Amino acid sequence: MTKYIPPLMASLLSQFDAGELVEFIQFISLLVHRLQVQNISCHLVINNTNVSQDQILDVLDQLISPLSSHIISTLSIGTNDINDRQVNMETKKAYLSLLNSIMAAKLYVVFTSERKSIPPYPYSTK
């Protein structure tokens, strides 16, 4: 079941509006937190199917690169509207929370895996 999640999420990323993207980032942060709380020997039960921590870590590993790329491209678009600026700020907060969750859960292996690495965040001096 978990093998279908990364392709599905990668295709859905292009369909998300800014508000949905924030909610999705928060969902992934909760998933990471759930992994942190679980012991390595424990299993999650999703729809009466045992899903190991390794399987969910693999899903996160496959998802983090396209998610980060999409977030960074979304944030790099300039905005003049106050509502768009607020959504960008919420997106930045959610992304920072996700990165913090990954680091706190000691799942930083997703950043150093053999898969494509996350592009650097385009810091702005403005």
- Tell me if 93 is assigned to some domain: yes
- Tell me if 62 is assigned to some domain: yes
52: containing domain: 16-111
- Tell me if 3 is assigned to some domain: no
pLDDT of residue 125: 44
Which residue's structure tokens are 């950043």?
Answer: 111
pLDDT of residue 79: 80
How would you write the pLDDT of the chain (126 residues) with one tens digit per residue? 567 777 777 778 878 888 888 998 998 888 787 776 664 444 444 444 455 667 777 878 888 888 888 888 888 887 888 888 999 999 999 999 999 988 888 887 888 877 654 455 454 444
**pTM (2 d.p.):** 0.73
**In three state form, how does the secondary structure of 42-99 look?**
CEEEECCEEEEHHHHHHHHHHHHHHHHHHHHHHHCCCCCCHHHHHHHHHHHHHHHHHH
- Tell me if 118 is assigned to some domain: no
- Tell me if 117 is assigned to some domain: no
- Tell me if 98 is assigned to some domain: yes
Number of domains within the chain: 1
Three-class DSSP category at 21: helix
pLDDT of residue 47: 46
Cα 23 to Cα 94: distance, rounded to the nearest angstrom:
8
57 burial type by CB count under 10 A (0-12 exposed, 13-18 middle, 19+ buried): middle
- Tell me if 38 is assigned to some domain: yes
